Amino acid sequence: MAGGDWTVYVDDNFHYMDEDERYCLGTFDILDAAVAACRNIVDRFLQDNPAKTADELYDQYTAFGEDPWIKGPSPASDTPTFSAWDYARQRCNELRP
């Protein structure tokens, strides 16, 4: 595979579906590095948020957090390479049990 096959883009949940608010974080040679970059963006928002419960934290994320996603080669299955919302739900439950 050629270098830079995985590109991470970041949307803004506050400006849902507004491509003018999107930015490119960068390209990565391996999928694991792109996923790690996406997780870092979500984790930073969640860790800095004062919400008291997992549900409140998740609501804050889906309303105001950054929504990273990965564009790359077609996956072998229909499963997305990364879902920021799914990851955020998991992390909210871990951070605010």
Confidence at residue 76, expressed as pLDDT on a 0 to 100 scale = 57
Residue 95 falls within a domain, yes or no?
yes
Q: Report the DSSP beta bridge partners of residue 24.
A: 9
Confidence at residue 17, expressed as pLDDT on a 0 to 100 scale = 73
Domain range for 96 is: 38-68+82-97
Q: Report the DSSP beta bridge partners of residue 12.
A: 66
Residue 3 falls within a domain, yes or no?
no
Residue 50 falls within a domain, yes or no?
yes
Averaged over successive runs of 10 residues, the pLDDT of the chain (97 residues) comes to 78 84 94 96 96 97 96 70 95 95
Residue 52 falls within a domain, yes or no?
yes
Q: What angle is formed at CA 51 by the lines to CA 49 and CA 56, rounded to 5 degrees?
A: 120
Residue 74 falls within a domain, yes or no?
no
Confidence at residue 36, expressed as pLDDT on a 0 to 100 scale = 97
Per the listing, tokens 């792109």 go with 34
Separation of alpha carbons 23 and 52, rounded Å: 30
Number of compact structural domains in the chain = 1
Residue 44 falls within a domain, yes or no?
yes
